[in-house]
Chain A
Amino acid sequence: MICNKCKNKAVIKLQHGNLCKNHFLDYFEEKVFRTIKKYHLIDPKDKVCVATSGGKDSLTALYLTQKYLGTKELFALCIDEGIKKYREKTIQDLKEFCKKNKVTLKIVKAKDEFEYTLDQAYPLINQKTKKKPCNICGVWRRYLINKYARKFGATKLVTGHNLDDEAQAIMMNIFKANTKLSAQLGPVSGIEEYKLFVQRVKPLYFCTEKETRLYCLLKRFKVNFGECPYAEEGYRAKVRDMLNDFENKYAGTKQGIINSFLTVLPLLKKQSERYGEIKICKKCGEPANQEICNACNLLEELKNG
Chain B
Amino acid sequence: MELVIKREREQSREKISFSGKTVKELLLKLKLNPETVLVVRKEEVLTEDELVKNKDEIEILSVVSGG
Contact surface of A with B, Cβ cutoff 8 Å = 1, 10-13, 18, 21, 55-57, 134, 209-210, 213-214, 217-218, 225-228, 230-231, 240, 244-245, 247-248
New contact pairs (17) apart from A12-B47, A55-B65, A228-B66, CB-CB < 8 Å: A1-B47, A1-B49, A11-B45, A56-B65, A57-B65, A134-B67, A210-B36, A213-B63, A214-B45, A217-B38, A217-B40, A218-B45, A225-B61, A225-B66, A226-B66, A231-B66, A244-B36
Give the residue among B9, B38, B66 with the most A Cβ atoms within 10 A. Answer: B66
Give min CB distance, A217 to chain B, whole Å. Answer: 7
Q: What's the least CB distance linking B58 to chain A, in Å?
A: 15
Q: Give 12 CB contacts A-B under 8 Å.
A: A1-B50, A13-B48, A55-B65, A134-B67, A213-B38, A214-B38, A217-B40, A225-B8, A225-B66, A227-B9, A227-B67, A240-B64
Residue of B with least CB distance to A137:
B67
Q: How far is the CB of A226 from chain B (nearest CB, A)?
A: 6
Given the known inter-chain contacts A210-B38, A244-B33, A248-B34, please indicate yes or no for A11 contacting B47, CB distance below 8 A.
Answer: yes
Contact of B67 among A13, A218, A231 (CB under 8 A): A231
Known contacts A10-B47, A214-B38; A245/B33 CB under 8 A = yes
Number of interface residues of B (CB under 8 A): 20
Contacts of B8 in A (CB 8 A): 225
CB-based nearest B residue for A224: B66
The CA-CA distance from A12 to B8 in the complex, in Å, is 19
How far is A12 from B23 in the complex, measured between Cα atoms in Å? Answer: 13
| B35:A247 contact, CB within 8 angstroms | yes
Residues of A within 8 A of B61 (CB): 213, 217, 225
B48–A248 touching, CB < 8 Å: no
Bound complex: CA A217 to CA B33 (Å): 19
Closest to A213 in B: B63
Please give me the residue from chain A that is nearest to B40 by CB atom.
Answer: A217
In the complex the two chains form, what is the Cα distance from A16 to B62 in whole Å? 23
Give bound CA distance, A213 to B33, whole Å: 15
A-contact bits for B21-50, CB 8 A (1 contact / 0 none): 000000000000111101010000101111
Given known contacts A1-B50, A210-B35, A217 and B65 CB-to-CB distance under 8 angstroms: no
Asked whether B66 lies within 8 Å of A209 as measured between CB atoms, the reply is no
Chain B hits for A210, CB < 8 A: 35-36, 38, 63
Q: How far is the CB of A305 from the nearest CB of chain B, in Å?
A: 24
- Kindly provide the distance from the CB of A140 to the nearest chain B CB, expressed in whole angstroms: 14
- The 4 A-B residue pairs with the shortest CB-CB distance, nearest first, are A228-B67, A231-B67, A227-B66, A1-B47
Give chain A residues whose Cβ lies under 8 Å from the Cβ of B65: 55-57, 209
